[in-house]
Structure 1
C-alpha cells in the first residue's frame, strides 16, 4: 500500500523525505552531588560575613509616630474645668490619697469649706494633657496614682496644713502658690511667714526709721558747726575781756 502511495506521489511530481531510524541507548544518571564535608561546613559558618549593627537603634532614629486622638466631649468639659481651677486660684496643692474613707473625705471637705478652700478631683490623663503645654508643667511628676487637688483663691497655707494634719491618709506632695512651685518643706516654711498686713507694717516702720536716721545725719553737721562757732566766739570774748583788764592794771 505504501509503495502504491509512493508511486502516485512520484508520478505527480512529488518526493518523499529520507527516513532514518536511529536507536539511542538509554543511560541511567548515577552521579550525584557529593555532600560537603562537615569541617568545611563549620569553617564556612564561622567565616560567614555578618554586617555590623548600627550604633543607634532604628527606633531611636525614627520614632514611631503616635496617632493623636481627638478628646471626647467629656474630656473637653473636664479640661475646661481644670483650666478654670488653675486660672482662678492662687494656691493649688497636690495631695496623695492613701485609701481614705468616704466619711473622712466628706469631713475633710467640710472643714476646708469653712476657710473657703475647695477640693477637686480630675483624671490624671486630662491633667497631663492640659499641664504639658502650660506654665504649670513642672507639676506633672506629682500626678501619679490617686491624687486630690485642693485650691483656694487666696494662699491659705497655714489653715490648710492645720486641717490636713488631722487626716493622716492624705499627704502633701507639693503646691503652686502665686505661680511659684513649692515642695512639702517649702509649703511648711511659707505657712510660717507673717501675714501681709504685718509685713507691710514692718516695711513702713523700716522706711520711717531710715528717713529719721537720714534726717539725723543731715542735721548733725550744722549742729556741730553751730556748737563750734559758739565756742569760738566765747573764747574770743574771753580773750578780749582779759586784754582789757590787763590794760587797766
Structure 2
C-alpha cells in the first residue's frame, strides 16, 4: 500500500523535490508545511526502504542516489520551484538535494536556475510582442516603399505637365 502511494505521488505531480531532513521542532515543521501548502506544495514522508524499490522500477531511477539519509519529498501538481525555494530558505534543517520537474531531473543548482526563469505566460507575451513588432515593421517598410513610389510618380507627372505647359506657351 505504501509503495503504491509512493508511486502515485511521483506520477500525479509535476514537481517532486527531494530534501534532506534534519530533526526540527514540531512547530517549525507545522509552519513550513503551512507556508508550502499555501503554494499547493505538499510535504511527504516516505521511508527509503519504500521509495527505493518504487524508484528503481520507474523513470525516476536517477534520483536513487539522493535517498541515503532521512528525506522528505515536496510534491506539487504545478512547477512551483521559486515559491518552494523561498520557503526552504527560512528552514535550515531542510536541505534541497534535487528535484524532478516536468520529467526533467534537476540538481539543486538546476532547481535554482529553473526558479529564475520567467513564467510561461510572460514568455508567451514576449514572443507575441516580438512577432507583432516584426510584422508591423514589415508592414511599415512595405507601405513606405509604395508611398515613396507614389510620391516619385506624382513628381514625375508634375514635371511632365509643367514641360507640356512650358512648351505650349
Normalised by the length of structure 2, the TM-score is 0.90
1:81 aligns with 2:2: no
Greater share of residues in helix: 2
1:146 aligns with 2:70: yes
Residue 161 of structure 2 aligns with which residue?
237
Higher Rg of the two aligned structures = 1
Greater share of residues in strand: 2
Q: After TM superposition, what 4+ stretches of structure 1 lie above 3 angstroms from structure 2?
A: none
Q: State how far apart, in whole Å, the 1-side matches of 2:49 and 2:141 are.
A: 64
- Given candidates 34, 52, 67, the residue that maps to 1:128 is 52
1:93 aligns with 2:14: no
- Given candidates 121, 124, 143, the residue that maps to 1:219 is 143
1:170 aligns with 2:94: yes
Residue 228 of structure 1 aligns with which residue?
152
Report matched runs for 1:1-249 at 5 Å: 77-245=1-169
CA-based RMSD of the aligned residues comes to 1.7
Deviation at 1:79, TM superposition (A): 1.2
Q: Would you say how many aligned residue pairs link Structure 1 and Structure 2? A: 169
Kindly indicate whether structure 1 or structure 2 has the higher relative contact order, using CA contacts under 8 Å at least 6 residues apart.
Answer: 2
Deviation at 1:85, TM superposition (A): 0.6
Deviation at 1:222, TM superposition (A): 2.1
Query: For structure 2, which runs of at least 5 residues remain unmatched after alignment?
Result: none
Deviation at 1:123, TM superposition (A): 1.8
Deviation at 1:173, TM superposition (A): 0.8
